[in-house]
Amino acid sequence: MKLIINRYNPENDQAPYEQFFEVDDALIQPDTMLLEVLQMVREQDPSLGFRSSCQEGVCGSDGMNVNGKNHLSCITPVTSLKQPIVIKPLPGLPIIKDLIIDMKLFYQQYQDVKPFLQATPLNPSQEHLQTPKERAKLDGSYECILCGCCSTSCPSFWWNPDQFSGPAALLAASRFVIDSRDIKHIERLKELDSPTKTFRCRHIQNCTDACPKGLNPSRAIQELKSIMVKES
Ligand code: SF4
Ligand code: SF4
Ligand code: FES
């Protein structure tokens, strides 16, 4: 199996470059995931940098760009990929080393939308109940694992990372805007109702296409915009 992997160590390199690796085909099974192959490559070259943790699509730490599309390496079967497999870091954020990017801006965008329930009373002694119908509205928005595959595939994010909130943060925002228990509905909408934060989304749908959890941030943003227009 042939791979071309982005390398960059800011301590030694002027710029990122590509390095060719080969892994013995005899080690590849039909269910071998890309992360396992990267671990084999790291046995050849222990200096290769990439993140991973859960190895089962839950922690969101191993997002990377594979043959031009963002994926989680731990749930990407290598046999489904055209060779040589070209692996780069998620685009649009600074590279720390090889396939490891600096997610600070991505997390800041998430933090900015206040991704937590603001209910009354603020220190409840009892549960805030929802009807099954109200609860069902949250399906498709709370399952996000913050891998960043969506935001880093979004042209509006690449061009205006400091102004556009990005699909992951907007999906989180919409999750609380539609939550029947949240009392800051109006404040949340006011905060997001700006030509840059939300309306920079052009519904190109790269985000939805890239989401490894099958979520649809593009639709959530569209719904958020409709609520804003209706309530303005
Ligand atoms: S639909 Fe919106 S958020 Fe998603 S990739 Fe396109 S511009 Fe970005
Ligand atoms: S919406 Fe999907 S792609 Fe975006 S951060 Fe969440 S899980 Fe990852
Ligand atoms: S290692 Fe946790 S999602 Fe891939």
Ligand 3 and 166: CB distance under 6 A: no
Asked if residue 3 has pLDDT above 70, the reply is yes
Both tokens of 204, joined, read: 């190109």
Distance 7 CA to ligand 2 centre (A): 25
Q: Using CA atoms of 181, 185, 191, 192 in order, give the dihedral in degrees to the nearest 10.
A: 90
> Which protein residues are within 6 Å of ligand 1, measured from CB?
154, 156, 167, 201-207, 217-218, 221
Asked if residue 65 has pLDDT above 80, the reply is yes
Give the integer Cα–Cα distance in Å for 170 and 221.
6
How many residues appear in the chain?
Answer: 232
pLDDT digits (tens, 9 = 90+) for 178-229: 999 999 999 999 999 888 999 999 888 999 999 999 999 999 999 999 999 8
Distance 144 CA to ligand 2 centre (A): 5
Q: What is the C-alpha end-to-end distance of the chain, expressed in Å?
A: 56
CA nearest ligand 1 atom 2, residue: 201
Position in ligand 2 atom list of the atom nearest CA 171: 1
pLDDT digits (tens, 9 = 90+) for 98-152: 999 999 999 999 999 999 999 877 676 778 889 999 999 999 999 999 999 999 9
In which band, very low, low, confident or very high, does the pLDDT at 76 lie, cut at 50, 70 and 90? very high
